[in-house]
Every structure is written in structure tokens, then in C-alpha cells.
Amino acid sequence: MTIYNLNIGIGWASSGVEYAQAYRSNIFKKNKQKAKFIFTDLFDENLEPMTKNIGFDDEEIIWMYQFFTDVKISPTTFTYSDLEATFGTEPEEIKDEGYGKYYSFDNNKTVIKAFHDTHCGPDAVHLVHTYVNGDLIQKDNYTYVKTFSEYYKPNENSDNLYQRRFFNENGSVAYDELLNGEQSLYIFEDRTIYSKEALSEYFLRSLGMNENDILIMDRSTDNGPSIIKTKDYTRVKVGVVVHAEHFNEPITTEDHILWNNFYEYQFENADSIDFFITATELQKQLIEEQFVKYHKGNIKIYAIPVGSIDKLTVGNNRQKHSLITASRLAGEKHVDWLVEAVIKAHEQINDLSLDIYGLGSQMMKLQQMIEAANAGSYIRVMGHRDLTDIYCEYDGYISGSTSEGFGLTLLEAVGSGLPLIGLDVKYGNQTFIDDGENGYLLEYYKNDTPQNIQDLADAIVKMMSDDEKMEQMRQHSYEIAKDYLTQRVQEKWIQLEKEQVND
């Protein structure tokens, strides 16, 4: 039995979907459940350093384009020396450039640019461009061997890609992709495949899945129909993870619901899906209610957290009246509201402090706000750090986010016994904050920023002014966190497997 997890792409700035997969991978390993994580995008750099970066093991990864070859997922070990050994003649000039190395031949008529894979060592080369008379004619991609090449025809305004060739370890051709605009034709030794959608279907069937396996869709754009066809052919059990808000609330009426376009195909074809997974019980209940209300038929949903904590963390040396927040420093997180709220609250609690952890586009703005208010002595921007053992140094946690599908930082905060302040928005805040019990859920005024800031400031003062209540809230946070201990999340995945494979 194998649990296959299907995604599209991954990058160095991975989204919550990839991090959720990485957490899941860790759970599967603890459970000794065999799992594979599939990526179907074409990548212009080695996939392996990106997947390793967030915790995947190489043997867990399946890349659709490489699946049809015997090349393994690997770090980049191909070197400048390996490349130079392939040259038929000595370069007339070699230059070190910011991207890697530049080689010129035949009075600069032929130029080769070798791009350094900075994640895999000082001499690793993952991409080589070849130019003739100034025109790009070929790109070669490498890991430990050449994995694929792209061929170009010179064009007046752009380089025209017309073919990709994928290789086996020994350099033999595994298959070709011929391109005509956005259309592709895939030529194998024993068959021709006439579109990427058909390639996806052939790939899924070639995995050898059967009724004892599970296929989980994390992202299914362009792959949904192929997956449904594969299910009919293989009888694999198919599940869908709902990673974000699943419907458009402002446009939804009493008679019609507008699904999020990332989930519309799956929901409209729910009779072909064996189960769905949400990160919170609240979202699970809402989808179930909506399927009944809008006459969408039966649906099976599991609420399984996208993250977990291994243990509760006790803090014995918390800094009194200290707040922490942690997130991407992006506009929708409204960390600027927190800065303004703490400045207001500081007028009543003179030893109040806020530490802001994270990176993002708003960092400069936040620093400027802090400097303009002369608040640098009690509000600090701390950058990115591993916060596992840091939460417990603080007195409380605060969030200004207006949307949290789950909220890993919220979970980590309650696991460290922090009372929380946040807006009453779906789904994370409502999951981890019991209003008045372990913090405060504040009404969110969509078009009244000053009111939101004032309410945050008032909640800070209220929470920080009652030591006895704070201790009660701290204990309640620990109680909430117990449901998210890794062992309990492990049990949920084991139960899902039992029900789906043995039903």
C-alpha cells in the first residue's frame, strides 16, 4: 500500500501547500506508511534541492517528466570539470561570471554559459546554455547526469523552443517532446502521446496503483480529469486536500454556492472522490452543511491538522508583558496593525513589548513605522528564526491576520502555553482561540481599520492587566494543544488508511 500525494510545482519560496506536505511526510515516516510525493510541473532547475530544503527525502519524490527515464532524484553533482570534458576543442576564453562560467570558441562564434547550482557545492553545474552567432540554440539540464535538453530556433524577437529530449543515465534517449506553441507531442519508442493532459493520464496509470493504494490531490489544476479517469481504471482511492477557503462567500447566495476555482472541479465531481481532507473541524462541518444545503450529494471528510507538535513546551522564565507574532511580513497579515495597537497599549502598560518574527515585503515599512514612533525600545523586527523553543519565553501571542486556513504559528503558540489575541476570522483563529478562555477573538471590521487597531490595543491591555486570568488562559491553551500532538495526528492518518483501503 502506497499513499501518493500529487502536487504541481515547488519553489524556494514554498507555499503552505508544500509545507503541509512536508509535515505529512514526517507523519507517514513515523507511522511507517509508504508514501510518494509527485510533482508534475517542468522545472528549469534541479528539483531535488528544493524538495530537500523543506524536509523531503529523495526516495519519496516522483517527478513526472523524469519518471519515464531511469535517472534518479539526486542533488547536482555534475561539475565544471565534467562539462569541460565534453568539449571537443579547448575554449579560447574562460571567464568567471556571477551566474557561473563563460566559455568561448571559434572567435566567439560559439559561447557556452554554465550556471552554478549554489545549493549543491562550489563546482555544481545544473544548467548550460549554448549560443551560436549570438543565438540561443540549446539548453542542457544536469543533476548527476544530463537529464534533458531543450532545442531552439533563432527568431527575430525571441528564442523559439521547438523540442525537448529526456535522457536515461547512459545518455540514451528516453523520449522526446515536440512543441508547437502551447501544444506538445510526446514521442516514446512504443507510443505517441498527443497532449500534456494525456501524458498525465499515462503517467498516473504507469504508477501501477490499485485499490490498495491512495492518491491524494494537493493541487490538481489540469490534472483533475486525468485523475478521475485513472481512478476508474485502477480503482485507487482518491482524496482531495482543501488547503484554503473553499468558496466565495460574498457571491454565495441561499440558492447557489460559488466554489473556489481550485476546488470547483473536485466538488462538482464529488461522487468520483472517495474523501476530502480539511485542516480544521470548523471547515469540515461547513462543507458538510453546504453539501446538504445545496443538494450536492454525500461527501466524506476527514479533519486532519496540516501540522502537529511533538510535545507541550513549558516556559519557566517568561518575560512579563511580552508579545510575539510570527508570519510572513505580507500585507494580508496586517502586522502594521499590531505595531500601531502595541504603541497605543504601551501608553497604559509601560513595560509592554512586541517581537515580530518573519520575512517579507512589509519589513521595511514596519521598521519605518517603529522608528517614526520612537518605539524601537519595545518593538523589534527579529527576522526568520526557528521558534520551537522561543515561544515559551513570551507572555502572549497576537495576530492581525484576516485569513488563516490553519495557522501553524497559532498551534505552536498554544503548544507553548501562550494566550492569544486575534480577529474572529476563519479558520485558524476560531480553532485555536476560545474567546475569554485562552485569549480574545475580536470582531473584524472589514472597512474600519482604526476600529480593528483600537480593539487589538484594548485586548492587549485587558489581557496583560490580569495575572490570574492570564495563568488560567495559559492552561487552557495547553488543553487545546493536546489535540494536535503528533501522536494524535498520526492516529488520524492510520484511521484514514484503514477506512479507505479496508472498507
298 and 437 assigned to the same domain: no
357 and 214 assigned to the same domain: no
Cα 167 to Cα 365: distance, rounded to the nearest angstrom: 48
Q: In this structure, is residue 316 part of a structural domain?
A: no
| Domain's final residue, options 303, 338, 373 | 303
Computed over every residue of the chain, the mean pLDDT equals 95
Whichever domain contains 398, its CATH number is: 3.40.50.2000
Interior angle at CA 22, CA 17 and CA 25, nearest 5: 125
Task: Cell numbers for 46, please give them.
Answer: 534541479
Pairing of strands 420-423, 396-398: parallel
CB 435 within 8 A of CB 453: no
The reported pLDDT for the residue numbered 183 is 87
Question: What's the pTM value of the predicted model, to 2 decimals?
Answer: 0.89
The HSE-up count of residue 226 (CA atoms within 13 Å, CB side) is 21
Q: What is the DSSP string of 305-332?
A: -S--BSS----SSPPTTEEEEES---GG
Q: In this structure, is residue 492 part of a structural domain?
A: no
Q: In this structure, is residue 495 part of a structural domain?
A: no
The reported pLDDT for the residue numbered 221 is 74
- Residue type for 150, please? E
| Domain's final residue, options 187, 211, 237 | 187
| Domain's final residue, options 187, 213, 240 | 187
Q: In this structure, is residue 420 part of a structural domain?
A: yes
Cα 419 to Cα 315: distance, rounded to the nearest angstrom: 13
Cα 99 to Cα 82: distance, rounded to the nearest angstrom: 18
187-220 tens-digit pLDDT:
999 999 999 999 999 999 999 999 999 999 998 7
CB 440 within 8 A of CB 484: no
Name the band, by pLDDT with cuts 50, 70 and 90, for residue 503: low
Q: In this structure, is residue 367 part of a structural domain?
A: yes
Q: In this structure, is residue 317 part of a structural domain?
A: no
61 and 205 assigned to the same domain: yes
Q: What is the DSSP string of 237-252?
A: EEEEE--S--B-TTT-
265-321 tens-digit pLDDT:
999 999 999 999 999 999 999 999 999 999 998 899 999 999 899 999 998 889 999
183 and 204 assigned to the same domain: no
pLDDT at 406 over 70: yes
Kindly report the number of other CB atoms within 10 A of residue 42's CB atom: 16
Q: What are the beta bridge partners of residue 356?
A: 325, 381
Q: Which domain holds residue 407?
A: 322-484
44 and 116 assigned to the same domain: no
Describe the strand order of the beta sheet including 237-241 as a list of residue ranges.
61-63, 35-39, 3-7, 214-217, 237-241, 275-278, 301-303
Question: Quick one: CA torsion of 81, 82, 86, 89, rounded to 10 degrees?
Answer: 0
